[in-house]
Amino acid sequence: MSTTVITLGTGSPIPHPDRAGPATVVSSGDAHVLFDCGRGVVMRLAGAGLGPAQLSAVWLTHLHSDHICDLGDVITTRWITTFAPTPLDIVGPVGTAAHVSAVIASLGPDIGYRIAHHDDLNDPPSVRVHEVGPGPVNAGVPPGWSITAAATDHRPVTPTLGFRVDTGSGVVAICGDTVPCDGLHDICADANTMVITAIRDDVIRSIGLPRLDDICGYHCSVDAAADTAAAAGVATLVITHHVPAPGPGDAEALTERIRTRFVGDVVIANDLDRIEI
């Protein structure tokens, strides 16, 4: 049985017409695990031939708004498109439970309307929240898979996690937003595929806006991502969450730049790209 990584959304907080917010699916057989829920995630799931009803679980790397802003859409759409009790497992760092409670509370009027309207809807959306820290995780893991969480470094955002996902047919490192750190190296070691936020810090710094300069301090640069992948022995490096979004010819130039530091396969991801393992 093979493993597929789908980069549902490859954008950033800066809106882009062709890039949804950060979200990645790892699939193997009938199991589909969603990592992060950026803007437009349900539409991109549809573009991948999936929907919230097919998800085995949702995992969150951290609670920055661009990674969680459409969690409510995932919860609601799953609820109204399933016809038997199907609790959604949501796994994330400390703080996830409070966030999910707030999301459910914000949906209160809509939940009431739908229960009043549909005789076969008697209960609100069912979710099971699991707050986790570094180490092996059991909740929200499909049968035959193993997932290990590691602390990453996205300070001042804390806690943040990356995940080493072993489906039995491939190992995927879901890195999220981080700078190089021990936890990042641990989840990437000998992985088939490494999916990481990597920004073009040289372009960002050339703009000269302090608020943009700030983001360089807590994301991997493209060069740092390449060096990490090389040191960890990764087979395929997937660059996502682009800042700025690549323009014409940029993907080719970035690939050549990365190949001076990393000898494996390189994917400058677009929305709905599929990486097969």
pLDDT of the chain along its 277 residues, tens only? Answer: 899 999 999 999 999 999 999 999 999 999 999 999 999 999 999 999 999 999 999 999 999 999 999 999 999 999 999 998 899 999 999 999 999 999 999 999 999 999 999 999 999 999 999 999 999 999 999 999 999 999 999 999 999 999 999 999 999 999 999 999 999 999 999 999 999 999 998 888 888 888 988 888 899 999 999 999 999 999 999 999 999 999 999 999 999 999 999 999 999 999 999 999 9
Per the residue annotation, which of 36, 66, 201, 271 is the catalytic one?
66
Residues 77-95 have pLDDT tens digits of 999 999 988 999 999 999 9
Q: Which CATH code, of 3.30.43.10, 3.60.9.10, 3.40.50.300, 3.60.15.10, is assigned to 4-276? A: 3.60.15.10
pLDDT for residue 203: 84
Find all residues with CB under 8 Å of 170, minimum gap 6, and list them.
2, 3, 28, 192, 193, 277
Tens-digit pLDDT profile for residues 151-170: 999 999 999 999 999 999 99
Handedness of CA 129, 49, 86, 2 (dihedral sign): negative
For CA atoms 213, 214, 215, 216, give the dihedral sign: positive
Dist CA 64 CA 152 (whole Å): 14
- Whether 66 is catalytic: yes
pLDDT score recorded for residue 231: 98
For 164, how many CA atoms within 13 A lie in the half-sphere containing its CB? 20
Residue 269 has what pLDDT? 98
Buried b (16+ CB within 10 A) or exposed e, 248-260: eeebeebeeebee
| Structural domain spans, the chain | 4-276
